[in-house]
Structure 1
Amino acid sequence: MDVSDQDRITPATPQSRWRRPALLALAILLLATGYYIYQQSFPDAVEPPASTESPISVDLPPIVPAQPKAADIPQQTVQQQEQEPSLPSLADSDDFLRLHWQDLGLPDDTQAWSQGDFLLQRATTFIDGLAQGAVLRKFTPLDNSPFLQPKPPFKVIKNNGEIWLDETNFDRYKPAITFLVSMQPEHLAQLFHWLRPLLEAAYGELGQPPEQFGNQLITGLGQILATPDIDAPIKLKRESVLYQFADPAFESLPDVQKLLLRIGPQNRQQLKDWSESLKNALLAEQALD
């Protein structure tokens, strides 16, 4: 799509200042949140005894979710200020990232994430899927993240033969959301160009135009921002062993937006506010000086 000049950043040169690989941190944090939420997608639930009291139900208008508007992350040339280490080839990037993992500024518990293979390729593929509204679980390196795992079981409420999402589930998602929004959007935006050549190379391996990777990142954030704001009891139905939204308008949403409906209004608003700040910071030319 066409975008205005102010929505572009010129490409970073190889002489840009030494910066920590914060975009990988961003990608992995998005992976963490997506994986964390995905694996909690209406599993077998603990069902309390049926209640005769009906929850307060609100008639919701039909939902026509906003379509995320793609915008190229502008590229900007950064003046050389100090010597930086040369980036490796994409093939050697795993070892390079493991060597510099402490520079990511992530909690110590994430060290296990660096032991996977194809770290940048996985991050790039996940973000590409996110831009399309998908949550690609198999591209996450986060199986060994106990500090993000929810403790209580997933719960539903049964009233008069109807199934409702138990709002006590929302607390299960707070650790992951808190972990993600603790990263400063402005800081991530300022450090964006450091790994961009490798990420674009990984995106090119998907058969996509490498220069469009920044656009996909913005579009992925747009998917989050386009999630409907629902602050009312959510009715479910059971299909096979999993639960689905009873409202077809909810069930037809992109996967990432359905996941964000399940985490509750407060968590969702935190994530949307953070995503908006990050999007603005990425698109702000002055943030990349």
Structure 2
Amino acid sequence: MPERDPAEYRPRPESSTSWAVAAVVAAAVAAGAAWWFWWRLAQAPAPVVAPPPDAAASAPMAEASGPQHPIAAQADAGPLPPLAESDAWVAKALGELLGAERVGRFLLTDGFVRRAVATVDNLPRAQAPARLWPVQPAPQRFLVEGPPGAQAIAPANAARYQAFVAFAEAVPPDAAVALYARLYPLFQAAYEELGYPGKYFNDRLVAVLDHLLAAPAPQGPLAVQLTQVRGEVPSTRPWVRYEFADPQLEALSSGQKMLVRMGPDNARRLKAVLAELRRRVVTGEVARRPAE
């Protein structure tokens, strides 16, 4: 397959006119399948965004002196292909972990490592462009109820995500994190290629997990409204333009908004998966022994 230009994955200035929610921790595979069901708000291609240095939405990254959360190399691990030639190798490894049918259904293996790294890096930001997701877009449309001007997320919307939350819960965490450790040199290479020389992707992953776990869990109906779009051409897909009516919720990052939108029960279950994943990638508990 053609080699992708690394510039596609490099941070660029933020766009304030559109944003999309992508998934979390595809890089660690354990939560990778969960990306598939996250709500898309923007259909047009959007740039990878980079916040200003003092942006509160950006999770902290490690200093260049060394990794805060090092990943231990697996014993007797063979050589990996170069990042630019890794797609087939990674797809095979994902297939062995998740099954070829699930990989084909949920994931985009073309440029998977670069996509996963860019998506994880963008989750604490205002935008996580859909064109860089490592997963297939979710089916069906976002559901709201109520008359115009007084709409809220429909309770039935949560049902769209339940099967995929269950799938994320069923991914074997030990084997998944062991595979992440095995592939880690590729993730690190993609992270440096993205524009972070001297930084460490696993530190960024841990910071992003902490950011997602800190997402609020509001109860009750969540009011939404259509984003105002000025222009003479009417929108033929208005359901992709909903935003929270509550300014505090609307100010959340793309990743935290995803957790809020999927409903409190789905968010609670997915946070449990992410918390267990964080424990493993922080301690290197699984990374120090080969996958079974």
* Among 155, 159, 166, the residue aligned to 1:171: 159
Which shifted more, 258-267 or 205-214? 205-214
Separation of aligned partners in 1, 2:26 and 2:36: 15
Using the TM superposition, give the Cα deviation of residue 87 of structure 1 relative to its aligned residue in structure 2, in angstroms: 0.8
Is residue 156 from structure 1 mapped to residue 144 from structure 2 by the alignment?
Answer: yes
1:38 equivalent in structure 2: 39
CA-atom RMSD, angstroms? 3.3
Using the TM superposition, give the Cα deviation of residue 129 of structure 1 relative to its aligned residue in structure 2, in angstroms: 1.2
CA 123–159 in structure 1, closer or farther in 2 if over 3 Å, else same: closer
* SS class of match (1:237): strand
1:229 equivalent in structure 2: 217
- Residues 49-198 of structure 1 correspond to what in structure 2 (within 5 A)? 74-75=69-70, 77-78=72-73, 80=75, 83-106=76-99, 108-111=101-104, 116-132=109-125, 134-143=127-136, 149-150=139-140, 153-158=141-146, 162-198=150-186
Separation of aligned partners in 1, 2:148 and 2:77: 65
Is residue 269 from structure 1 mapped to residue 261 from structure 2 by the alignment?
Answer: no
Does the Cα contact within 8 Å between 2:26 and 2:35 map onto a contact in 1?
Answer: no
Q: What is the letter of the counterpart of residue 178 of structure 1?
A: A
Using the TM superposition, give the Cα deviation of residue 207 of structure 1 relative to its aligned residue in structure 2, in angstroms: 1.7
* SS class of match (2:224): strand
Separation of aligned partners in 2, 1:79 and 1:33: 26
Q: TM-score, normalised on structure 2?
A: 0.68
Using the TM superposition, give the Cα deviation of residue 118 of structure 1 relative to its aligned residue in structure 2, in angstroms: 2.0
The CA deviation string for residues 79-127 of structure 1, in whole angstroms up to 9 with x for no partner, is 74xx443211112111322444432334613236777532211111111
Does the Cα contact within 8 Å between 1:157 and 1:166 map onto a contact in 2?
Answer: yes
Is residue 213 from structure 1 mapped to residue 201 from structure 2 by the alignment?
Answer: yes
The CA deviation string for residues 3-49 of structure 1, in whole angstroms up to 9 with x for no partner, is xxxxxxxxxxxxxxxxxxxxx9655665553453132x499xxxxxx
Using the TM superposition, give the Cα deviation of residue 270 of structure 1 relative to its aligned residue in structure 2, in angstroms: 0.6
- Percent identity, please: 26
Does the Cα contact within 8 Å between 2:158 and 2:266 map onto a contact in 1?
Answer: yes
* SS class of match (2:146): strand
* SS class of match (1:288): coil
What runs of 5+ residues in structure 1 fail to find an aligned partner?
A: 1-23, 44-64
Using the TM superposition, give the Cα deviation of residue 136 of structure 1 relative to its aligned residue in structure 2, in angstroms: 2.5
CA 114–209 in structure 1, closer or farther in 2 if over 3 Å, else same: same
CA 210–198 in structure 1, closer or farther in 2 if over 3 Å, else same: farther
Higher-Rg structure is 1
* SS class of match (2:175): helix
Using the TM superposition, give the Cα deviation of residue 261 of structure 1 relative to its aligned residue in structure 2, in angstroms: 1.1
Separation of aligned partners in 1, 2:127 and 2:212: 11
Is residue 253 from structure 1 mapped to residue 256 from structure 2 by the alignment?
Answer: no
Q: TM-score, normalised on structure 1?
A: 0.69
Separation of aligned partners in 2, 1:25 and 1:262: 19
Using the TM superposition, give the Cα deviation of residue 164 of structure 1 relative to its aligned residue in structure 2, in angstroms: 1.9
